[in-house]
Structure 1
Amino acid sequence: MSGISLGMTAWAFMTGVAMIKSGMSITEAVAMSLLVFAGSAQLAAIPLIAAGAPLWVVFAAAFCVNLRFVVFSLHLRQYFMFLPRARRLWLGYFTGDVTYVLYTRRFPEPPETDQQRRAQMAYLWGGNCANWSFWQTSSMLGIFLGNALPARWGLEFAGTLALLAVACSLATSRLRALSALIAAVAAVALVALPYRLNIVAAIAVAVAACLFVESRRPLPAGEREDAHAG
């Protein structure tokens, strides 16, 4: 986690500053940081809240930005179905993009024995606690120092760069890189939409395009033989 802490710290700090600069009170900003533990959803919702957008628009933007966590949770389901539902929900709150990626790289297969379950849980909780601590500490610094920082420092741009670095680190395949490129082009092309709905539309376009590409991609030889046999 230490290797990625710098980028996460910059991103979290910028998110804390953005909440205060948008007009939120310190209490509201602290509550949002603790309850909405998802930086991209926070950055998508903050300008909409500040602009007085309808509540459904705020929810739709946050939901679409965080759709990737549905995929993450479906993948992790086979790893943690041995846990009670309440513990799975608690684990889901703490699990972020980076800890998910590191965990699945370290453990490509679900555990089969109690010893493996304990080892995998220890690894994931170690990453989650470090990630949560980095994020909340930097976010709180941004919240409490936000009003003292001059706007000319270009913190918004720094936060964008930090977010871009995290996004690029997750583009580990051609299809993921393609989806990011399509979403970026669509977001720019639709920037005139109100309430930043270009973000929601860009996600929908990227998902639809990648599902189409995935359906047209030829199967490997082994999978083709299985399909013909079926």
Structure 2
Amino acid sequence: MRELFKHPEFKRGMREISTVAPGIAAWGLMTGVAMSKSGLSLVESLLMGIFVFAGSSQLAATPLILAGAPMWVVLATAFCVNLRFVVFSAHLRPYVMHQSLRRRLFSGYLMADLNYVMFTRRFALPAQDAAGVQAQDAYWLGNAGLGWFSWVIPTLIGIALANVIPVSWGLGFAGILALVGILCSLASTRLRVVSAGVAGMAAVAVFALPFKLNILVGIAAGVALCLLLERPTRHALAEPAKDKGAE
């Protein structure tokens, strides 16, 4: 493990995540203030800020907990909001199967959206040799590790200063800007842009639903649209392959 900290890929991972660290920190600060202002105790806020490490789920689950929503609604909302990580984990499985169970759990805990995007962009395919595996592990540790600090430390600061910093200073708006920046960086294809737009419109259209269920509706609409649009694309790609095989 120690040799990973000295590997050049460790520094590269830190350098690349540092470009978006201010946005992550702004979102983390806002989340810390929001949890404390919402009525959670100091211990609850600290535990959620450190161990949950999932901003969207934290913001979605906190008002449901305080409103006394049924536990299944809280769990279903958190699960659906972070459902994308199931796909991320399945994709990253070949990259981490050489690790022990404890290390795999730790790697999964550190995973966030931008870490996944940067890692898969850097390493399109799993390494087949020991040197390549070490490079991938070092990059992930540097990238995801700094991402964790960029989130957790500002979250703790937000919790500590929640009663000092007025919400009217625009911390919520800073968090929205951070989310918009992350969204724009991930919207790299027309399909993603369209699905994000449809999900947003669906969530706004049913905003009056209780327990923030409009979020679930938006997610369902975006996923359904992707499935419908991807199906013709797959058929279109399969047809030329069949023709080529016939020749």
Q: TM-score range, shorter-chain basis?
A: over 0.9
What's the CA shift string for 1:62-109, capped at 9, x where partnerless? Answer: 111101111111111122222233321221001111111111111111
Partner of 1:9: 25
Q: Which among 165, 172, 175 is matched to residue 156 of structure 1?
A: 172
> Is residue 2:195 matched to residue 1:179?
yes
Matches within 5 A, 1:24-43: 24-43=40-59
Q: Which among 111, 133, 136 is matched to residue 95 of structure 1?
A: 111
SS at match of 2:207: coil
SS at match of 2:39: coil
Is the alpha carbon distance of 1:192 and 1:104 closer, same or farther for their aligned partners in structure 2, counting shifts above 3 Å? same
C-alpha separation in 1, matches of 2:21 and 2:68: 33
Matches within 5 A, 1:124-143: 124-143=140-159
Partner of 2:122: 106
Partner of 1:194: 210
SS at match of 2:163: helix
1:215 deviates by 0.7
% of aligned pairs identical?
Answer: 50
C-alpha separation in 1, matches of 2:170 and 2:111: 30
C-alpha separation in 1, matches of 2:82 and 2:189: 20
> Is residue 2:122 matched to residue 1:85?
no
C-alpha separation in 1, matches of 2:50 and 2:170: 25
Amino acid at match of 2:23: G
Consecutive unaligned residues in structure 1, runs of 5 or more:
none
Q: Which runs of 4+ in 1 moved over 6 A?
A: none
> Is residue 2:239 matched to residue 1:224?
yes
Query: 17-26 or 43-52, which moves further after superposition?
Result: 43-52
Query: 85-94 or 148-157, which moves further after superposition?
Result: 148-157
The TM-score normalised by the length of structure 1 is: 0.94
Partner of 2:12: none
Partner of 1:117: 133
Q: Kindly report the root-mean-square deviation, in angstroms, between the aligned alpha carbons of the 2 structures.
A: 1.6
C-alpha separation in 1, matches of 2:121 and 2:235: 23
Partner of 2:220: 204
Partner of 2:6: none
1:30 deviates by 0.5
Consecutive unaligned residues in structure 2, runs of 5 or more:
1-16
The TM-score normalised by the length of structure 2 is: 0.88
